[in-house]
Amino acid sequence: MIKIGLIGAGTVGSGVVHIYNNNLEKLKDFAKDDFEIKTVCDLDFSKATADLGKINKSSNWRDLIADTEIKIIVELIGGEEPARTMIATALENKKNVVTANKMVLAKHGKELLEIANKNNVHLLYEAAVGGAIPIIKPLKTTLVPNKIKGIVGIVNGTTNYILTKMTEKEAKYADVLKEAQKLGYAEADPTSDVGGFDSMYKLAVLSQVAFGADVDYKDILVEGITDVSQNDIAYAREMGLIIKLLAIARYENEELELRVHPVALDKNHPLATVNGVYNAIYVEGDAVGDVMFSGRGAGSIPTASSVWADILDIINETPYFTEKLKKIKIKDIAEVQSEYYFRFRLKDKPGVLADISGIFARNNISIKNARQEGLGEDAELVIVSHIVSEKAKNKAIEEIAKLDSVKKVSSIIRVGI
Amino acid sequence: MIKIGLIGAGTVGSGVVHIYNNNLEKLKDFAKDDFEIKTVCDLDFSKATADLGKINKSSNWRDLIADTEIKIIVELIGGEEPARTMIATALENKKNVVTANKMVLAKHGKELLEIANKNNVHLLYEAAVGGAIPIIKPLKTTLVPNKIKGIVGIVNGTTNYILTKMTEKEAKYADVLKEAQKLGYAEADPTSDVGGFDSMYKLAVLSQVAFGADVDYKDILVEGITDVSQNDIAYAREMGLIIKLLAIARYENEELELRVHPVALDKNHPLATVNGVYNAIYVEGDAVGDVMFSGRGAGSIPTASSVWADILDIINETPYFTEKLKKIKIKDIAEVQSEYYFRFRLKDKPGVLADISGIFARNNISIKNARQEGLGEDAELVIVSHIVSEKAKNKAIEEIAKLDSVKKVSSIIRVGI
């Protein structure tokens, strides 16, 4: 009998108990040893939405780790501390650990995987990226015959919900954010999601798994969605483009390119139709070509399904591909190339288009299309460029920002992937 | 050292050798025992596109099974016989078997899985459905915490290529089929693909895995795409619908509903944007909600990646959920409900709309919209109904076909899923 200790009885923790209460027969059919959830730990059980039944309750996580019967610790409290300490302590005490904690994995993954390895126990985290979507395990098993070349994903449900509603309802960012907060899709302080940091942590975790890369998350270029306005979404739509927040990793010439930012995608791109709180992750492998996985990126019971998959893998001693994480050279962001969408707010002076297109020309940036919208106070210029490096783009923008005829560089959004 | 015998050096067999030649290091990193491909068997090695290097060649598959060093037989010749005999004989001789053969699995899966079980060896078949897409293993591992409620997939690349080209290029079925044959996307005799039978076999395999159902493939309703005309695609497009060939399995009230047929999908449905030779499979689980897997449904190296995933799982003794297949009651097709798109070719007589809508009304079928197109010889009536049972639909169509004013019931296509 394998006993499980659950730390956190909140959203995902309650989902774990819900599945335990409802699908126990199928779980037990697959598990090669019998098991039970022995103890659940939280400081406040009032938020638990599942029936805890005969499971012991504790308010001290150290009790669960001290319990010699417990072989698997499931950490579902989120955040950096005390979660990191819990996971490290559990592993050091030879407990297997299942977690959904992308922040801890992004910041301390290498160290924790080494502790797990040293103590001959497992640290699994299917639920850390893409909620319900099987992605970590396919990368570590079914896709092993591939050298992975790239990953592109919509990995944050909050921002995808906001961008979807802005696109479908032609609503403003601030209004949709408020609605998302009311519905529980966005936090009271939404910075981690809308600033792109949640996606950044997930990209770091995916890069560990797909490329064996010991990524410093600070090396990831991160731009959130706070500057994406309804105007951008409307102009993009007219050009057949849909704006999504993407997490992108590409491995080429022994360099890893890592970035999180909004992208204006062709409306027929499969990622352009991934809407609402759904997530989707594209994986490019040298054998499979590209495969895509999509589904609910969050939510109590969907995410808990992935937690149970990990628990069963520990019970069944399922073999995983575990590459030792190593430093991989990170591509200099200045060299990253992209097409761009620019929106400039203008003082409606004659000659502004000539000024701006002159600056683009002198920086060897060719323009795909340009259009001026509105008049007087509302005059805006929208330009889509051909492919250009980050460096050249920055130099041109610096010059444009100094023009008398330009009030503001309102938006800079990459086009296509 | 685990030795592998490969039967079939054609498209997928060559892909298996290609990955072996190119990604051997990563394969060996993951495999817990050393391995090699010892012998490859074919009657004609001229079609092999990979460098067979030092691999032994044989023209007699029984030699590979008689070879006591060989522990894994990979069957990649396709078709029912002699493939079934090869697989059964290999299993009876205590060889593990990896196959991509959906026809054999659909027709003899239960019997072969029982032979494997009795002889304590594995029969794995990730490549049998969805080519490169990880779908069998996620169903047998990561999604185990779910009761599976439904599966909907585009599982045939040939028909998806044809329908995509008909939609994008407004081309006729016969012309696109010819082009597909020239490109190698369709067989000289395309019946198995365009008739829906390939999708039928794959749906039977998916039903074994997802529901533990001992499915008789003859219980599956099968309609191919041969009756889908450019007119249907054009009318559907005007209504915001895209026509796809879908394989559908739904488990509800202890009944399994199984069908393969064209469906007019809302253009914003994620399956509507799966184009060309790509496949996609939706899985609905009681915990995850819905997850979707997509990628290349065929092709030498993509499919071979899935074959290698299975080989590695056998070497690593990866545990799989293996439900014993049992008979499940199949839902009577007459009771299956759907919205419908109908196209009737008319003798352009006054009163025909009244006649037809009268028949619909008497059969309690309500009409969502109706439009008459063309004049004289070309007059057509397109009707989209609300939800109606197969039985009521058939009765109405029988009456309509007898009308003097109707030349032909040209198309009947289900709308939505």
Chain A hits for B302, CB-CB cut-off 8 Å, are 287-289
Q: Check if the beta carbon of residue A174 is closer than 8 Å to that of residue A150.
A: no
Last residue of a domain, one of A247, A280, A296: A296
Last residue of a domain, one of B296, B319, B346: B296
Among A23, A132, A308, select the one facing B291 at the smallest CB separation.
Answer: A132
What is residue B375's predicted lDDT score, i.e. its pLDDT? 81
CB proximity B132 to A under 8 Å: yes
Last residue of a domain, one of B99, B128, B157: B128
- The DSSP symbol for B414 reads E
User: Is residue A118 located within the same domain as residue A155?
Assistant: no
- Give B19-78 pLDDT, tens digit per residue: 999 999 999 999 999 999 999 999 999 999 999 999 999 999 999 999 999 999 999 999
Phi, psi of A204 (to 5 degrees): -60, -45
CB neighbour class for B329 (10 Å; exposed up to 12, middle 13-18, buried from 19): exposed
Q: Is the pLDDT of residue B349 over 80?
A: no
**DSSP one-letter string for A231-280:** HHHHHHHHTTEEEEEEEEEEEETTEEEEEEEEEEEETTSGGGG--TTEEE
Q: Check if the beta carbon of residue B273 is closer than 8 Å to that of residue B105.
A: no
What is residue B202's predicted lDDT score, i.e. its pLDDT? 98
User: Is residue B382 located within the same domain as residue B236?
Assistant: no
User: Is residue B53 located within the same domain as residue B167?
Assistant: no
What is residue A216's predicted lDDT score, i.e. its pLDDT? 95
DSSP E strands, A274-385: 278-285, 289-296, 329-330, 337-346, 367-373, 380-385
The helix/strand/coil state of B405 is coil
Q: Report cis status (omega within 30 of 0) of the bond before B302.
A: no
Chain A hits for B29, CB-CB cut-off 8 Å, are 321, 323
CA atoms within 13 A on the CB side of B352: 27
* Token pair belonging to B139: 């169903």
**Residue A202 known to be catalytic:** yes
Q: What sign does the dihedral A336-A339-A341-A342 (CA atoms) show? A: positive
d(CA A68, CA A410): 59
d(CA B385, CA B392): 12
Residue A183 belongs to a domain: yes
Q: Is the pLDDT of residue A349 over 90?
A: no
What is residue A141's predicted lDDT score, i.e. its pLDDT? 94
Residue B276 belongs to a domain: yes
User: Is residue B145 located within the same domain as residue B119?
Assistant: no
What is residue B321's predicted lDDT score, i.e. its pLDDT? 82
pLDDT, mean of residues A221-233? 96
Q: Is the pLDDT of residue B348 over 80?
A: no
User: Is residue B172 located within the same domain as residue B292?
Assistant: yes
- The DSSP symbol for A377 reads G
**What CATH code is carried by the domain that includes residue B340?**
3.30.70.260
**What CATH code is carried by the domain that includes residue A146?**
3.30.360.10
The pLDDT mean for chain B works out to 95
Residue A309 belongs to a domain: no
d(CA B342, CA B338): 12
What is residue A373's predicted lDDT score, i.e. its pLDDT? 84
Pairing of strands B35-41, B56-58: parallel
What is residue B79's predicted lDDT score, i.e. its pLDDT? 95
CB proximity B358 to A under 8 Å: no
Closest CA to A19 of A67, A64, A69, A76: A76
User: Is residue A290 located within the same domain as residue A141?
Assistant: yes
Contact call for A309 and B143, based on CB within 8 A: yes
Q: What sign does the dihedral A247-A87-A307-A48 (CA atoms) show? A: negative
What is residue A87's predicted lDDT score, i.e. its pLDDT? 98
Out of A40-49, A318-327, B55-64, B260-269, least confident range: A318-327
* Token pair belonging to A303: 């995410």
In which band, very low, low, confident or very high, does the pLDDT at A268 lie, cut at 50, 70 and 90? confident
Q: At what angle do helices A352-362 and A390-401 cross, to 10 degrees?
A: 150
b (16+ CB within 10 A) / e for B12-43: bbbbbbbbbebbeebbeebbeeebebbbbbbe
What is residue A33's predicted lDDT score, i.e. its pLDDT? 97
In which band, very low, low, confident or very high, does the pLDDT at B17 lie, cut at 50, 70 and 90? very high
User: Is residue B174 located within the same domain as residue B264?
Assistant: yes
Among A26, A126, A308, select the one facing B147 at the smallest CB separation.
Answer: A26
CB proximity B85 to A under 8 Å: no
Single-letter amino acid code for the residue at A119: N
What is residue B249's predicted lDDT score, i.e. its pLDDT? 98
Total structural domains within chain A: 3
**What CATH code is carried by the domain that includes residue A112?**
3.40.50.720
What is residue A376's predicted lDDT score, i.e. its pLDDT? 80
Q: Is the pLDDT of residue A322 over 90?
A: no
**DSSP one-letter string for B51-115:** --TT-EEES-HHHHHH-TTEEEEEE---SSTTHHHHHHHHHHTT-EEEE--HHHHHHHHHHHHHH
- Give B73-131 pLDDT, tens digit per residue: 999 999 999 999 999 999 999 999 999 999 999 999 999 999 999 999 999 999 999 99
Residue B401 belongs to a domain: yes
Domain that holds residue B341: 336-415
CB proximity A316 to B under 8 Å: yes
d(CA B68, CA B244): 47
What is residue B233's predicted lDDT score, i.e. its pLDDT? 97
Chain B hits for A306, CB-CB cut-off 8 Å, are 142
CB proximity B326 to A under 8 Å: no
Predicted-complex ipTM score: 0.92
The pLDDT mean for chain A works out to 95
User: Is residue B229 located within the same domain as residue B162?
Assistant: yes
User: Is residue A288 located within the same domain as residue A147?
Assistant: yes
Among A141, A301, A323, select the one facing B287 at the smallest CB separation.
Answer: A301
d(CA B131, CA B124): 14
